[in-house]
Amino acid sequence: MRREKNVIDWVGEGTIDNPYITENIAKVDTKGFEITLNKEHFLFIQNPAIYYTYINQEGKNISNKSKYLSDYPKNQIIFNFFLNYPWLIKQYISIKYEDRTKLKDYCLVNSSISKNFIIFKNGNIRLYLKGTNLLNTSYSLIEGVDLPGRWLEGGVKFSWKY
């Protein structure tokens, strides 16, 4: 539990030119819990993990016009794991679902795949391809600020120990 006093938030009661004004909110109590389940190996899956978070906020003077305090992830579930393939190929997969109190709920799927090449005793080269928001989900964490859609990147990483 976290208790806060004299919290300042942006509230939508301003003018047309300045729709949000800052307002002192008397008191906010945040309660919640987290659960993590993980295992080193499960069948062919490496390091599977499930994370769950629950949050509830209560306070005086919090209105729907509040820009930040009235919207938070009430429930969040994340499932991620690794898959190892032959020839030193490794894939990471992450699935995240967030149940928002005010904004639209969303689900994100992210993945990366990489191949290691051992070039000498203490070094290697890794080729990788990473995809973020693979389902091209439209979502935002702050009202009016849309986050990027599908994003792909690739690269080469050099590493060595000396």
Domain boundaries, the chain: 2-160
pTM here is 0.79
Of the candidates 99, 95, 79, 94, which has an alpha carbon nearest to the alpha carbon of residue 139?
A: 99
Express each pLDDT in 111-137 by its tens digit. 999 998 887 778 889 999 999 999 999
Q: What is the pLDDT of residues 60-115, one digit of tens each?
A: 655 555 666 667 889 999 999 999 999 889 999 999 999 998 889 999 999 999 99
Torsion of Cα atoms, 77 then 114 then 87 then 84, to 10°: -10
Give bridge partners of residue 73 from the DSSP assignment.
100
Using one digit for the tens of pLDDT, what is the confidence trace for 2-16? 777 767 766 766 667
CA gap 61, 8 in Å, rounded: 11
What is the per-residue pLDDT for 37? 95
HEC readout, 1-24:
CEEEEEEEEEECCCCCCCCCEEEE
